[in-house]
Amino acid sequence: MSVQQAGSRGEGVQRQRRKAARPSELSAAALALFVEKGFAATRLDEIAARAGVSKGTLYLYFDSKEALFEAAIRDGILPLVEAVEAQAERLAGDPERILREILNRWWAGVVATDLGGIPKLMLAEAASFPAVARFFYENVVERGRRLIRAALECGVQSGQFRPLDMEIATSLFFVPVLHVATCGQSLAFSDACVHEPRAFLENHLEIYLRGIRAEKKGCSR
Amino acid sequence: MSVQQAGSRGEGVQRQRRKAARPSELSAAALALFVEKGFAATRLDEIAARAGVSKGTLYLYFDSKEALFEAAIRDGILPLVEAVEAQAERLAGDPERILREILNRWWAGVVATDLGGIPKLMLAEAASFPAVARFFYENVVERGRRLIRAALECGVQSGQFRPLDMEIATSLFFVPVLHVATCGQSLAFSDACVHEPRAFLENHLEIYLRGIRAEKKGCSR
DNA sequence: TTAATTACTGACCGACGGGTCATTAAGTGC
DNA sequence: GCACTTAATGACCCGTCGGTCAGTAATTAA
């Protein structure tokens, strides 16, 4: 099932020359396996097999296993981050709505696809690949947090939300969102929430918003 | 710094026979390294060196690298789970207080020690070690959730909390708590919240409790 | 058709690391 | 001091896997 999806029918294993498409195919195959088994436990032969090429071909496009790892993370997550940012820009003004939309986007783009494994992967491998960790932090975590923080600040400004420690409040919104992606990928926690990730995120938003809204006037204590 | 903390002064590297103490020393050393570098990337020689023994000694006490992994998780986390359960039993009755205490215990026993790495480790390796993942899920995740769920049910019963989806509400309390431990260990997210883990947990509790408390009577909408 | 180019292959290499076991030496009883 | 038991050692074995490169076949140009 995992071996040679391209060019293996019959006996004469037919080669294909597809220079343009290869890099993204290879990084996609690599990402899937890294997510599934971790960096160290993933063999280059497996990656090659899944992409329907030989191991040697990997080295035509990437210098090393580590370079492939970087590319896999990069190609996997950046498009999504950009999509979320674009969406948020369109909604500037209504903080609760922005938060809700970030959730929806994240749901559609990460949790429901195999991209959910990336945060888990980063968590696991960050210590061994500081450069990649830095890239991920700056281009995903930071940018995501910026969107959330902006929405919260807007809400506090307008009086909808009570005064908050911005950094922490940002994290507290962020964390369950991250968790859905991460844990959806891991037996050790999977049952812990994620049979209903949709409902999980809804409930999170509900509790979180109630938790940060300003008290109603006239209602003492 | 990591080599031979026992018996290496001078030239004649002096052996020690300490059958009783070895297993826990070895599993502790193993845990620290697994947490730091992941299972596959950790060498048995390193583990042995950190524990101040030779590689061969590992095999006197454990059948394989994997058996050592199991033991490390087991020995590392079980004592803590038991401590938290004992504490919760003593406080039955006051749900908000129980939740607060779970947080404090977790803080003291996990986040502030190197045990924080265990959840991260499990997250990363669960797919490769289903048996260990199962053990962890049943003995840590499940038992932790049981405590939280009990407190929440008690609060809903008494009318302090509004009606909740119990499974999800439990997760939503659990997740940031888990996160503090997990992310404190990983460059990829570290700054995301954890320069002030104390404050982070406080804020979580605050927002969460506000989010689930029943509406004050007489306050419409 | 033939020559030139280049994407692709896969057998091979070297090191690395999990696991073994003959040997050593620390402890024990007499 | 001597014989005996057993905890501990570390050189060694061997399978595995990242990485290489001489060769092959698809494509293009002449």
Question: Residue A14: which CATH number?
Answer: 1.10.10.60
- The enclosing domain of B117 has a CATH number of 1.10.357
The predicted pLDDT at position B220 comes to 41
Cβ within 7 Å of strand C: which of A 19-48?
19, 22, 48
| 3-class DSSP state of A11 | coil
From chain A, the residues in CB contact with B200 under 8 A are: 168, 171-172
Which tokens sit at A150?
């902006």
**B210 beta carbon < 7 A from strand D?**
no
Q: Does the beta-carbon distance from A188 to B212 stay under 8 Å?
A: no
| Predicted TM-score of the model (pTM) | 0.85
Residues B31 and B103 in one domain: no
Say which residue, B211 or A89, is predicted with more confidence: B211
pLDDT surpassing 60 at residue B109: yes
Q: Does the beta-carbon distance from B123 to A174 stay under 8 Å?
A: no
Q: Is residue B218 part of a domain?
A: no
Domain boundary among B62, B90, B109: B62
Instruction: List Cβ neighbours of A104 (8 Å cut-off, separation of 6 or more).
Output: none
Q: How far is CA B1 from CA A127, B7, B24, B165, B177, in A?
A: 19, 14, 20, 50, 32
Residues A55 and A90 in one domain: no
Domain boundary among A62, A86, A111: A62
State residue B161 phi and psi, 5-degree precision. Answer: -105, 150
Interface of A with B in 34-93 (CB under 8 A): 36-41
Q: Is A167 on the interface with B (CB under 8 A)?
A: yes
Residues B171 and B150 in one domain: yes
Q: Among residues of chain B, what percentage have pLDDT more than 70?
A: 88
Residues A196 and A168 in one domain: yes
Which tokens sit at B42?
């950790």
Query: Which site among B175, B202, B208, B221 would you substitute to test the A interface, given the most A Cβ atoms closer than 10 Å to its Cβ?
Result: B175
Closest Cα to residue B192, out of A162, A122, A14? A122
pLDDT in tens, A44-64: 999 999 999 999 999 999 999
Q: Give the mean pLDDT of A172-194.
A: 76
Residues A41 and A90 in one domain: no
State which nucleotides on strand C lie below 7 Å from a protein beta carbon.
Answer: 6-11, 17-22, 25-27
Determine the residue of chain B that is closest to A202 in CA distance. Answer: B168
Residues A85 and A57 in one domain: no
From chain A, the residues in CB contact with B207 under 8 A are: 169, 172, 207-208, 211-212
From chain B, the residues in CB contact with A204 under 8 A are: 172
| DSSP codes, A40-104 | TT--HHHHHHHHTS-HHHHHHH-SSHHHHHHHHHHHHHHHHHHHHHHHHHHTTT-HHHHHHHHHH
Name which of A20-24, A111-115, A163-167, B101-105 the model is least confident about.
A111-115
Interface of A with B in 123-152 (CB under 8 A): 123-128, 130, 133-134, 136-137, 141, 145
Q: Is residue A220 part of a domain?
A: no
Q: Is residue A101 part of a domain?
A: yes
pLDDT surpassing 90 at residue B57: yes
Query: How many Cα atoms are found within 13 Å in the side-chain-facing hemisphere of B66?
Result: 8
Distance between first and last Cα of chain A: 63
Residues B205 and B171 in one domain: yes
Q: Give the mean pLDDT of B148-174.
A: 93
**B67 beta carbon < 7 A from strand C?**
no
Q: How far is CA A76 from CA A35, A38, A39, A79, B95, in A?
A: 11, 16, 15, 7, 43
Instruction: List Cβ neighbours of A144 (8 Å cut-off, separation of 6 or more).
Output: A81, A84, A102, A174
Computed over every residue of chain A, the mean pLDDT equals: 84
Q: Fill in the amino acid letter for B85.
A: E
Query: How many Cα atoms are found within 13 Å in the side-chain-facing hemisphere of B68?
Result: 29
Q: Is residue A146 part of a domain?
A: yes
pLDDT surpassing 50 at residue A162: yes
The predicted pLDDT at position B9 comes to 31
pLDDT in tens, A7-20: 333 334 678 888 88
Distance between first and last Cα of chain B: 62
Q: Does the beta-carbon distance from B167 to A219 stay under 8 Å?
A: no
Domain boundary among A16, A37, A62: A62
The predicted pLDDT at position B25 comes to 94
Cβ within 7 Å of strand D: which of A 48-67?
55-56, 59, 64-66
Residues B140 and B200 in one domain: yes
Confidence of residue A114 (pLDDT cuts 50, 70, 90): confident
Name which of A58-72, A107-121, B207-221 the model is least confident about.
B207-221
Domain that residue A195 falls in:
73-212
Q: Is residue B68 part of a domain?
A: no
pLDDT in tens, B156-168: 999 999 999 999 9
Q: Is residue A113 part of a domain?
A: yes
Q: Is residue B89 part of a domain?
A: yes
What's the CA–C1' distance between B54 and C13, in Å?
Answer: 30
H helices within chain B, ranges in order?
22-37, 44-51, 55-61, 65-90, 95-106, 117-125, 130-136, 142-157, 166-183, 197-212
- The DSSP call for residue B194 is T
| 3-class DSSP state of A188 | coil
Confidence of residue A219 (pLDDT cuts 50, 70, 90): very low
Q: Is residue A192 part of a domain?
A: yes
Q: How many domains does chain A have?
A: 2
Residues B94 and B143 in one domain: yes
B146/B174 Cα distance (integer angstroms)? 11
Residue showing tokens 């329907």: A52
Residues B105 and B7 in one domain: no
| Across all strands, nucleotide nearest A7 (CA–C1') | C8
Residues A42 and A116 in one domain: no
Asked if B76 and B27 touch (Cβ cutoff 8 Å), the reply is: yes
Residues B101 and B164 in one domain: yes
Min Cα separation B14/chain A (Å): 34
